[in-house]
């Protein structure tokens, strides 16, 4: 991966909290880009590969913030983000005035606004910057990053974000990134269901489903999901890209937002019900393309 030009004595000090599937890959790209990187994870034992790339593992979020100009967080949900920032030995206890937090987690827009307001009282700025692109995009550094916050803070963060993603869009004040991510997840669930239904229709008709996908990929039905996930649906095998349980969490955020503003999302609601069933039956760690399990089962294949 190419660097961002921050190597050497002037390298910026960046912290990263949350070393799950997405976070560990994102942090690795920051290390490769030449940032002076410190990392922390609630569950120990996940920083070895990053330390090998030159990162320094620290003992607490407080220590992370105290040693960093910019801190990136990528954890599960609003409660976890709040705990990392404001809990005992949290980031808020270590931040110096003028620091910047970039939260790449997917949380509710209301939580993002609340956390930003509380940090502002400490003299700390925040961007909500959820990402899309799955584990492949996290590894390749090609994520789409949806940013809410002040434009001046995005300018400060652009070199950090550019090490993790290719498409960085400023969408408005804090919380706007999370609204955009909710829209993203709603569109994704509908596309997954549409592709799954198409695959099942091809299979039940006795067609070579892979050939059908190839025929459709260059037309109006073409999509990232058709190109990258249809094979899993055909094979009925769903290795991890993005956990279906995490997508269900994101759908809860989107559906709550929809209820609060009077938007009706019938397809998203149906997908959420299907995901509930998959999680209940032990498939929560499957890739999100496992929505096809439901369509296949209902169709007797």
Beta carbons of 74 and 46 less than 8 angstroms apart: no
Which residue is listed with tokens 């938007």? 263
Reference 251, options 187, 199, 175, 159; nearest CA is 187
Angle between helices 176-204 and 244-261 (to 10 degrees): 120
Reference 130, options 64, 166, 179, 85; nearest CA is 179
Catalytic residue among 13, 181, 204, 249: 181
What is the residue-wise DSSP string for the chain?
A: ----S--STT--EEEEE--SHHHHHHHHHHHHTT-EEEEE-SSSS--HHHHHTT-EE-S-HHHHHHT-SEEEE--SSHHHHHHHHHSTT-HHHHPPTT-EEEE-S---HHHHHHHHHHHHTTT-EEEE--EESHHHHHHHT-EEEEEES-HHHHHHHHHHHHTTEEEEEEEESTTHHHHHHHHHHHHHHHHHHHHHHHHHHHHHTT--HHHHHHHHTTSTT--HHHHHHHHHHHHT----SSBHHHHHHHHHHHHHHHHHHT---HHHHHHHHHHHHHHHTT-TTSBGGGHHHHHHHHTT-
Residue 181 bears catalytic tag: yes
Residues serving a catalytic function are 181
């Amino acid at each position: 991966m190419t660097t961002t030009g921050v190597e050497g004595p002037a390298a910026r000090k960046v912290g990263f909290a949350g070393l799950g599937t997405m976070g560990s890959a994102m942090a690795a790209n920051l290390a490769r880009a030449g940032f002076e990187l410190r990392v922390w994870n609630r569950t120990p034992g996940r920083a070895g590969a990053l330390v090998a790339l030159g990162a320094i593992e620290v003992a607490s979020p407080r220590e992370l913030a105290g040693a960093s100009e910019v801190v990136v967080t990528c954890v599960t949900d609003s409660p976890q983000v709040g705990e990392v920032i404001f809990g005992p030995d949290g980031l808020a206890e270590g931040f110096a005035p003028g620091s910047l937090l970039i939260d790449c987690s997917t949380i509710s827009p209301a939580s993002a606004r609340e956390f930003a307001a509380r940090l502002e009282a400490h003299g700390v700025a925040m961007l909500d910057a959820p990402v899309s692109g799955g584990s492949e995009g996290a590894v390749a550094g090609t994520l789409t990053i949806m940013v809410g916050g002040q434009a001046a803070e995005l300018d400060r963060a652009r070199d950090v974000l550019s090490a993790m993603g290719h498409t960085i869009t400023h969408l408005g004040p804090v919380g706007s990134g999370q609204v955009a991510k909710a829209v993203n997840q709603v569109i994704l669930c509908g596309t997954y269901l549409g592709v799954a239904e198409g695959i099942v229709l091809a299979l039940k008709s006795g067609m070579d489903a892979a050939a059908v996908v190839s025929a459709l990929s260059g037309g109006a039905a073409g999509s990232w999901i058709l190109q990258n996930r249809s094979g899993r649906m055909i094979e009925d095998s769903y290795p991890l890209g993005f956990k279906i349980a995490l997508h269900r969490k994101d759908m809860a955020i989107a559906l709550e937002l929809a209820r609060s503003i009077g938007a009706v999302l019938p397809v998203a609601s149906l997908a959420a019900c299907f995901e509930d069933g998959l999680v209940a039956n032990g498939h929560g760690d499957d890739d999100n393309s496992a929505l096809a399990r439901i369509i296949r089962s209902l169709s007797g294949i």
